[in-house]
Structure 1
Amino acid sequence: MISADQALVKKMNKKLVLREIIHTSPVSRAKLSEVTGLNKTTVSSQVADLLDDNLIFEIGQGLSSGGRRPVMLVFNKNAGFTIGIDLGVDYLTIVLTDLEGTIVSESHQKIDSTLPCDLQKLMITLLEKQISVIPDSRYGLIGICLGVPGLVNNDQELTFTPNSNWSEIPFKQILEQTFQVPVFVENEANTGAYGEKEYGAAKHFKNIVYVSINAGIGTGVIQNNELLKGKNGLFGEMGHTVIDFNGPRCTCGNRGCWELYASEKALHQSLMSNNQTVMWQDILHRAKQNDPQVLQALDTFGFYLGIGLKNIINTFDPEVIILRNRIIEAFPQVLNSIRHTLVPNHTHAPDVNILLVSALKHNATALGAAAIMIKHFIDGVTA
């Protein structure tokens, strides 16, 4: 009978071998033994289990360093598929990916009705369409992860949505009952941070801050490769740090929150005329025409973003800050304005080169959600 300690060691070894295959495949059994420090018998045993699980497969022989040519092992990225969702205030993005995060299918839908019942129907309809195109595989749909713009506690409950009325929707329960698969709910900035870390601009960094700038401002923080959650799962709400005690009232109850000055909503409000909302396309067109009012608004937008980013740099001392915002992606002058704000007239100015624009852009949150689900799956099948 295998003792509990032996069983635990076996699980840990299996996870170690699988993760090494995922990150370095194609790879031989001998190389796995070398890089993991496990003996060849242990590696062969774990490889046999993973082959039985259909999580890896053998391909042709590799180059020989003397003796028989080794059989190479590859991660079976098509053993299962996952769905990542980015639920924005006025849009819904869904991606179907394989186990390496490669997008198989995706949909982007504008949300016309913010009523919870209409949102549920739309989400389920779009999910059904994505699920219908999943290729045949050993594990099928392994799960769904949803990134949402609000506070999500450790029980995966959406407790507060400052820019929508969705906090009463039990997303996890609804989707699990409908599709009979595991469902995870996470803050959209956290999933965006995870996506950039796994697949995007932050791949090679251990300490990052991801800043999502939409109707509000969300931040996801990764330190030493771990996503920080806080005691109640509410870590990193930097959009609601106060930068003006005498400022306007925020939906969170405070006055002068950062996102009141540096969000897309704030930018649009600064350009309103006769109470008419300025659309994104209008800003794009007028900026290309060098409209002075729009260029000034963009400069102010960058200035206020820089004010908040100073606080982030002083608080977290990150290696890199990833900015996810379509305006910054479209207008490099906004990034220049941010950098100018970050550089005061003293010798201890922060390194403005730590600012990077999102590599995943509008798919950052959805891909991060998919990556979180993949991690839970890998951890589960090797348990």
Structure 2
Amino acid sequence: MLTGDAAFIKKINRSLILSKIVEHKLISRAELAKLTGLNKATISVQVSDLLDKELIYETQQEHKSVGRRPIMLSVNREAGFALGIDLDKSSITFTISDLIGTSIQTDIIELNVSDYDFILKILIDQINNYKSKFNHTRYGLVGIAVGIHGIVNKDEIIDFVPQHGWQNKTLKEDLEKAIGINVYIENNANLCSIAEKVYKHHQCNNLLSVSLYSGIGLGFIINDTLFKGFHGYAGEIGHMIVVPNGLPCRCGNLGCWEQYASELSFITHLAKDQKNQTFNYIDFQNRMIEHDPAFQKEIDRFIMFISIGLNNLINLYNPEILVVNSEILRLYPNAAEELKAHLTSSISHYSELVISQFGKRACIMGACALAIQNFLGVSELCLTLSEESFLEK
């Protein structure tokens, strides 16, 4: 039986109430009591405290029936702001969101260096600019989450970033010392899985999110909890060997999945076949429209190798929802159906396979969600996308 002192129980009740206010956007005290199972006195005390802290506010709902208009509760979305950062190889993307996960501002700084101290200074300077800009609000910047395209351990120390050649970097400590705000460091694939859960698949408790870009990463939520493994290194699925004695990988092995099924491998193989032409996503889209046979041959090969790895994941984890995050597949019609056509094993079971609609925005969406969740102290966060939000128009 779960037990705890009064302060602990109060914290749990606060988390439950606030998570429901966030989820429903507009909700009465009576409805809160019904949804949470808490009595009206507990609801009243907690709501009063949240009002005092200016995390929520009251409005009276308009209605046509006779009688007293119900008082509704909403999150004070501008009480504070979260900062999500996607630290990639050639750019750093910064996105500010309000407390209901709506994107307020996005800035991109291009990178042509990998020096840690130089990039650290860029991060500090930019964060201080945001800190100053939002200092007038009740809580200012409430937290910062940074997505790393590399290995992050359970203590949020960056173990290795192959794109920059970083090893054992204490970015969390270095940033917090300089700016005085809570910083969270997370692997980008984990943040993608958080984005899928928080913004899209709210009711899913077992979700796998596979990101196919310069490498391949896996973020997985099992029993409603982000799974990281013993040291925090779980999810490096790109280094699963799918071709014995195959192409050499930077990890030291031969035939790793990311050498065949990452977008980088697709582009590299296509460029080699097309006499070292350079390609971008617009080129891919045009080739799809034109039904270019050379491109179609490569996309068929790409999908085949993706499906090999997905089949292994399905057999290992039996996911409820399997999300594949790839800009190329997002542009390619019927990508999910073609992947499913390769998954023909009678013992491979999953409920749903989808191509992520978030694309490369997923990492920073998950970063903002993580910062919001930690600030609000809620165990479950349910946000809704809007026209103002993260999706590219």
* TM-score calculated relative to the size of structure 1: 0.89
Which residue is 2:148 aligned to? 148
Which residue is 2:266 aligned to? 267
What is the CA–CA distance in structure 1 between the aligned matches of 2:285 and 2:129, rounded to whole Å? 32
Which residue is 2:294 aligned to? 293
Farther off after superposition, 275-284 or 228-237:
275-284
Which residue is 1:328 aligned to? 329
- Report the Cα offset of residue 183 of structure 1: 0.3
Preserved CA contact (<8 Å) 2:75 2:99: no
Tell me whether 1:232 sits opposite 2:262 in the alignment. Answer: no
Preserved CA contact (<8 Å) 1:322 1:355: yes
- Cα pair distance change 1:222/1:250, threshold 3 Å: same
- Cα pair distance change 1:296/1:122, threshold 3 Å: farther
1:40-76 Cα shifts (integer Å, max 9, x gaps): 2221111111111111111114669997443221111
Farther off after superposition, 88-97 or 126-135:
126-135
Preserved CA contact (<8 Å) 1:54 1:79: yes
What is the CA–CA distance in structure 2 between the aligned matches of 1:118 and 1:277, rounded to whole Å? 32
Preserved CA contact (<8 Å) 2:148 2:186: yes
Farther off after superposition, 267-276 or 216-225:
267-276
Gaps of 5+ in 1: none
Preserved CA contact (<8 Å) 1:319 1:354: yes
Q: Secondary structure at the match of 2:35?
A: helix
| AA in 2 matched with 1:321 | L
Which residue is 2:178 aligned to? 178
| AA in 1 matched with 2:322 | I
- Report the Cα offset of residue 286 of structure 1: 4.0
- Report the Cα offset of residue 168 of structure 1: 4.2
The alignment-based identity, stated in percent, is 36
Preserved CA contact (<8 Å) 2:142 2:182: yes
1:111-131 Cα shifts (integer Å, max 9, x gaps): 322333443344344434544
What is the CA–CA distance in structure 1 between the aligned matches of 2:110 and 2:291, rounded to whole Å? 29
Tell me whether 1:105 sits opposite 2:105 in the alignment. Answer: yes
**1:1-383 maps to which residues of 2 (within 5 A)?**
5-61=5-61, 68-134=68-134, 136-200=136-200, 202-273=201-272, 276=276, 278-280=278-280, 281-332=282-333, 334-343=335-344, 347-348=346-347, 350=349, 354-379=352-377
- Cα pair distance change 1:117/1:8, threshold 3 Å: closer
What is the CA–CA distance in structure 1 between the aligned matches of 2:13 and 2:202, rounded to whole Å? 25
What is the CA–CA distance in structure 1 between the aligned matches of 2:224 and 2:65, rounded to whole Å? 35
Q: Secondary structure at the match of 1:272?
A: helix
Q: Secondary structure at the match of 1:143?
A: strand
| AA in 2 matched with 1:227 | L
1:300-357 Cα shifts (integer Å, max 9, x gaps): 111100100001111111111112111111122544442332235xx55656x72212
1:167-192 Cα shifts (integer Å, max 9, x gaps): 34322122212321000000100001
What is the CA–CA distance in structure 2 between the aligned matches of 1:296 and 1:118, rounded to whole Å? 42
What is the CA–CA distance in structure 2 between the aligned matches of 1:32 and 1:349, rounded to whole Å? 41
Preserved CA contact (<8 Å) 1:80 1:138: yes
What is the CA–CA distance in structure 2 between the aligned matches of 1:299 and 1:128, rounded to whole Å? 47
Farther off after superposition, 27-36 or 311-320:
27-36
- Cα pair distance change 1:350/1:41, threshold 3 Å: closer
What is the CA–CA distance in structure 2 between the aligned matches of 1:176 and 1:33, rounded to whole Å? 39
- Cα pair distance change 1:65/1:206, threshold 3 Å: farther
- Report the Cα offset of residue 155 of structure 1: 0.8
- Cα pair distance change 1:132/1:298, threshold 3 Å: farther
Q: Secondary structure at the match of 1:234?
A: coil
| AA in 2 matched with 1:360 | F
- Cα pair distance change 1:7/1:127, threshold 3 Å: closer
Preserved CA contact (<8 Å) 2:148 2:187: yes
* TM-score calculated relative to the size of structure 2: 0.87
What is the CA–CA distance in structure 1 between the aligned matches of 2:64 and 2:47, rounded to whole Å? 20
- Report the Cα offset of residue 227 of structure 1: 0.8
What is the CA–CA distance in structure 2 between the aligned matches of 1:144 and 1:212, rounded to whole Å? 22
Q: Secondary structure at the match of 1:271?
A: helix
Q: Secondary structure at the match of 1:252?
A: coil
Farther off after superposition, 39-48 or 180-189:
39-48
- Report the Cα offset of residue 166 of structure 1: 2.6
How many aligned residue pairs are there?
A: 374
